Amino acid sequence: MKMKRNIAIATLGVALGTVLVLTQVAWSGLRDQPLKLEGSWVATVPGTPLSWMYTFAPSDPSGREAAFNGTTQVSDPTFGGAFPNAEYVTPFIGEATVNARNQADYSVLWYGMKKGATLPEKVYIVLDSGTIEKTGSGRTQVMHNFAVFLPSQDTDGDGLPDTGGPGACIPLTSIDTRLPLLPPCQP
């Protein structure tokens, strides 16, 4: 009798354990996964033609820190004539760090350039700093603060402005989408 009761309890325990494990596995895919800084992304600014592309390369296995680089689609590197010598913009580089489950801080740098006699010359420096907020699977909202500096503000020549505030500070919000693996077209 005691043996039958132990077998019944053990069977019940295995059954409950199996249900618990299967339930957790099923629910784990539905839970909100934390923001990870990885992958290729496309950014757009709603209501404008502004867009750019970038790739996060994680600096640590957890995906909480990353370096990134990308390109922006700039049709007028002069900023509407504010920098008439500017002929093109460089690709941008940046760093980002997750500071909460679904949020990260970042900084980005790029230059407005003109073709020089022997080497290209900086016309302006742009530092973009702000926050990245996960809004869904493969989607983020990025709050930008574009600070524009003159090359003369880089007094030590390290590529970053050292003196004075920016000549302009431009806030902007983009909606960024991770590039998924897409099937090829069918001829």
Please compute the mean of the pLDDT values over residues 67-76 and round it to a whole number.
89
CA dihedral (44, 102, 38, 139) in degrees, to 10, reads -30
Q: What is the pLDDT of residues 147-156, one digit of tens each?
A: 999 999 999 9
The whole-angstrom separation of Cα 61 and Cα 12 is: 40
pLDDT in tens, 117-153: 899 999 999 999 999 999 999 999 999 999 999 999 9
Q: According to the model, what pLDDT value does residue 40 have?
A: 97
Q: Could you list the residue range(s) of the whole structural domain that residue 68 is in?
A: 39-178
Expressed in angstroms, the distance from the first to the final Cα of the chain is 71
Number of structural domains, the chain?
A: 2
Which pLDDT belongs to residue 32? 66
CB-based contacts of 41, cutoff 8 Å, min separation 6: 53, 54, 55, 56, 70, 140, 176, 177, 178, 179
Tell me if 183 is assigned to some domain.
Answer: no
Residue 62: band (very low, low, confident or very high) from pLDDT cuts 50, 70, 90: confident
Examine the pLDDT at 29 and tell me if it is beyond 90: no
The CATH number given to whatever domain includes residue 151 is: 2.40.128.30
Percent of the chain at pLDDT exceeding 90: 72
Residue 133 lies in a domain: yes
Domain annotation covers residue 131:
yes
Q: State the Rg of the chain over Cα.
A: 25
Q: Which residues contact 54 (CB under 8 A, 6 or more apart)?
A: 40, 41, 43, 68, 69, 70, 71, 92, 94
Q: Are residues 46 and 108 in the same domain?
A: yes
